[in-house]
Amino acid sequence: MTDETLLQRENSEYWSRRGFLRAATGAAVAAGVSAVAAAQQTKPNAADDVQLSQIHAATEQPEKIPGPFESRDQRTGFAIVGLGRLALGQILPAMAKSKYCKPVALVSGDRAKAQKIAAQYGIPAGSIYDYTTYDQLAKNPAVQVIYIVLPNSMHAEYTIRGAKAGKHILCEKPMATTAHDCQRMIDACNAAGVKLMIAYRSQYEANDVALVKMIRAGRFGKLRQIVATNSQNQGDPSQWRLKKALAGGGCMPDVGVYCLNAARFLSNEEPYEVQASVVQPKDDPRFTEVESSCQFIARFPSGLVALCNSGYDAHKSQFLRVEGVEGWAEMHPAFAYTGIKLQYSKLVEGEEILHAPAIEEKDQFAAEMDHMALCVQQNLRPHTPGEEGLQDQIVTDAIYESAKTGRAVKIPAPKAPTRGPEPSAG
Ligand code: NAD
């Protein structure tokens, strides 16, 4: 019996033995989701959706049952590579909130940890890999997408090996640590005929999606300034985030990239020039290799200017403001996993009106993974493909060059749009 047939059998036996309900419930409990919500995700198909009678008056908002969700068999299978904070804290729990995704394999250097997590999420033991057996994912038909959640400089190697294994790739931000690596990742995925998406969760987050729509509809008039900050205070000086070889830089590629990417996708323009400074204190053991803060100005062809700041040595602070000729919008916090708040102002008949729209909070990671699954299922170009990550890296390189030379640095315009179609409301 081939590896492939064995795995197929192991998968189907596993699911018929334990049932998806139990596995999904385990995952949902780990995610803090109720067993009822998990059970709603186990419905075999939309036609079997349970309908409840409405008990409130017609003047009340109707109750909504989430879904329909796809049955386990129809969901896209994800292998999660790297079982660190993001994978365990956000990505795996978000699977239980997704409509189209399921975790089917894990890749980790720590087998005991992977076994515990596999048991929680109903992943068969035969679908646990390490970094040397990673390429054997090629023989696992349950895996359609590899989600890379490793330190930044490892993204290129695992994307290229994953593409060679014939799998679609969802890769965490920042895409890599050099533009050369970003291009190699794009080329490898193109050569293998697989999709490459960069996990820019903000572009799938409900408040950001609403703000993009308002800007495109001209609600704030011509954009003049975007002001953004994203800071957090790092502790452990030995962590990979503070090592240049693994992280590529300090706060800029990790959290500053949110400000840069937001300025690009909100304006739908590409900066032609940046001017930047970085701070790297000599007396702080955390910053022997990378910057503690980064400030940059990005100039766009329409005259729009983005003023962005990021820090690794200031208390958590996440803010974004868009200023147009006819109004402004801000998110405070911006870029957060939850609790993002959007408000905007506009002059109406001589009165400055402040709006705080009620936007239903949805899990950004579930939305982002569902987008990837739909792109695979329907053969679509992702909204945030490799080209989107490459452009951020090109601008990041220009930011570092400007900080080093003290001069403004020009950025060539990308040859083609870096983003695919807007994600559907899902
Ligand atoms: P982490 O340190 O918590 O986890 C990294 C994982 O990689 C660990 O399981 C570690 O064991 C493994 N690993 C393998 N080889 C390693 C090596 N040589 N050195 C260090 N670790 C190694 O990091 P994280 O916070 O989960 O970040 C992982 C990726 O996700 C990064 O690219 C980061 O930028 C990105 N990230 C994205 C978001 C987001 O909101 N989208 C948030 C956090 C992190």
| Tens-digit pLDDT profile for residues 271-292 | 999 999 999 999 999 999 999 9
Of the candidates 40, 91, 28, the one whose C-alpha atom is nearest the C-alpha of residue 69 is 40
Q: Which two tokens stand for residue 188?
A: 């490898």
Confidence of residue 131 (pLDDT cuts 50, 70, 90): very high
Active site residue 258: yes
Task: Calculate what percentage of the chain has a pLDDT beyond 90.
Answer: 81
Q: What is the pLDDT of residue 39?
A: 35
Contact status, residue 67 vs residue 46, Cβ threshold 8 Å: yes
Distance between Cα 412 and ligand 1 center (Å): 31
223 φ/ψ sector (left φ>0, alpha ψ -120 to 50, else beta): beta
Is pLDDT at 24 greater than 60 in this prediction?
Answer: no
Distance between Cα 12 and ligand 1 center (Å): 31
Q: Which residues line ligand 1 (CB under 6 A)?
A: 82-87, 109, 149-152, 172-173, 199, 201, 240, 246, 254
Report pLDDT digits (tens) over 175-209. 999 999 999 999 999 999 999 999 999 999 999 99
Cα angle: 259, vertex 151, 313; to 5 degrees: 50
d(CA 271, CA 273): 6
Is pLDDT at 146 greater than 80 in this prediction?
Answer: yes
**Residue nearest ligand 1's atom 9 by CA:** 84
Is pLDDT at 37 greater than 80 in this prediction?
Answer: no
Confidence of residue 346 (pLDDT cuts 50, 70, 90): confident
Of the candidates 46, 244, 17, the one whose C-alpha atom is nearest the C-alpha of residue 122 is 17
Q: What is the pLDDT of residue 59?
A: 85
Pocket-testing residue among 85, 128, 154, ligand 1, by greatest number of atoms within 8 A of Cβ: 85
Q: What is the mean pLDDT of residues 25-50?
A: 42
Confidence of residue 17 (pLDDT cuts 50, 70, 90): very low
Higher pLDDT, 305 or 50: 305
Q: Which two tokens stand for residue 263?
A: 């300025």
Distance between Cα 242 and ligand 1 center (Å): 12
Residue 412 C-alpha from the chain's centroid: 26
Q: What is the dihedral angle through the alpha carbons of 277, 317, 234, 245, rounded to the nearest 10 degrees?
A: -50
Q: What is the pLDDT of residue 52?
A: 75
Confidence of residue 36 (pLDDT cuts 50, 70, 90): very low
Is pLDDT at 234 greater than 70 in this prediction?
Answer: yes
Handedness of CA 183, 184, 186, 187 (dihedral sign): positive
Tally Cβ neighbours within 10 Å of residue 255.
Answer: 21
Distance between Cα 285 and ligand 1 center (Å): 21
Q: What is the mean pLDDT of residues 128-146?
A: 98
Q: What is the pLDDT of residue 195?
A: 98
Q: Which domains does the chain have, with CATH numbers?
A: 72-199 (3.40.50.720), 203-360+385-410 (3.30.360.10)
Report pLDDT digits (tens) over 66-124. 666 778 889 999 999 999 999 999 999 999 999 999 999 999 999 999 999 999 999 99
d(CA 109, CA 111): 6
Residue 182, C-beta contacts closer than 8 angstroms, at least 6 positions apart = 156, 175, 176, 386, 389, 390, 393
Q: What is the pLDDT of residue 345?
A: 94
Q: What is the mean pLDDT of residues 144-150?
A: 98
Cα distances (angstroms) measured from residue 137 to each of 4, 218, 310, 360, 417: 10, 47, 37, 37, 32
Average pLDDT over the chain, rounded to an integer: 89
The catalytically annotated residue of 134, 258, 312, 344 is 258
Q: What is the mean pLDDT of residues 402-416?
A: 98
Higher pLDDT, 214 or 36: 214
